[in-house]
Structure 1
Amino acid sequence: MDLTNSIGGIEKLNNMNYDYWKSCMELYLQGQDLWEVVCGTDVAPPNNTSEGQDALRKWKIKAGKAMFMLKETIQKEMLDHIRVAKMPKEAWDAFATLFAKTNVARLQMLENEIGSITQDNMTISQYFMKVKGICNDIGQLDDESKISDARK
């Protein structure tokens, strides 16, 4: 693994590794006690009352840490998808939508990826496995979405 493409052992999100990134991030966020502010029971800030000042401060710290990790563990070209997100849950959901099986944008990304693959320094076996992996991803797109078989 190229260290410039990972943070803390988590491979940065790109067009090809959402499922892997998602599982690693979920475990990391749970281990850091940040999952609740991303997709758990604590996704909205507490009320800003005099009694809740400390709770709000703690929530903002957790949300900031979670948002930092979400932004640091993605490739720069992915940043545009979450640039306007104010809450960690918004960012997480934006990626879920972008990489959803029913999403036509996902098919477009896979088409672009398969069209730009070059063998470069890969062995024939590695090159074949990469192409096969993309084809498998295309094959796993939801059949109920409005993507024609010809396009797949």
Structure 2
Amino acid sequence: MELVLQGYDLFSHFDGSSVSPPKFAIVDEEGATSELTATYKDWIRTDKALLSLLIASLSDEALEYVIGSQTAREAWLHLCDRYASVSRARINHMKTELQTAQKGGDSIKRFLLRLKHIRDQLRAAAVLISDDDFVIAALNGLPPEYAIIKTVLIARDSPIILKYFRAQLLAAEQTAETRIIHHSGLYAANSSPSAPPSSVASG
């Protein structure tokens, strides 16, 4: 996200280089008035939007550290303070954890949230994980029943939007669950003991 914001010249709200302009208009004869300046209102509107964007991108754990923040800069500083002491060994551990994470018995939703949490921690430590790397990490952690969707997504020529990626995995999860239920039903039907043939007594 930092690179995107820098590209649009908006990261200045986070690093402090963009400061709030004067809040009230100043008239020479009267001094400050109660009328808000247009530049202040525009700045506040942009800052609140960026603060909302930052909050929406955080995991539940990271969210705890920005609750109550009034500006994008304040929230960013809280995150920096929280994760500034992350050691190089810890960063390497989180990278390995991201690359080797397995879905296991988790749902797709929970698995992706787990990966997102690791990514958030790395981002707070100034280590950026691209969307492509996130997608690859998620695909590598899927069990064999997701082989088809893995092949399809890996073979894509263009990058995949994370929202679309999540939707594809959720659909694949539903298909896998339906297949398991179907196979379980067939197994139960085939393993049921057959009723013994009835014998007819001869008179």
TM-score band (shorter)? 0.3 to 0.5
Rg comparison, structure with higher value: 2
- The higher relative CO (CA closer than 8 Å, separation ≥ 6) is in 1
Q: Which structure dedicates a bigger proportion of its chain to helix?
A: 2
TM-score relative to the length of structure 1: 0.48
TM-score relative to the length of structure 2: 0.37
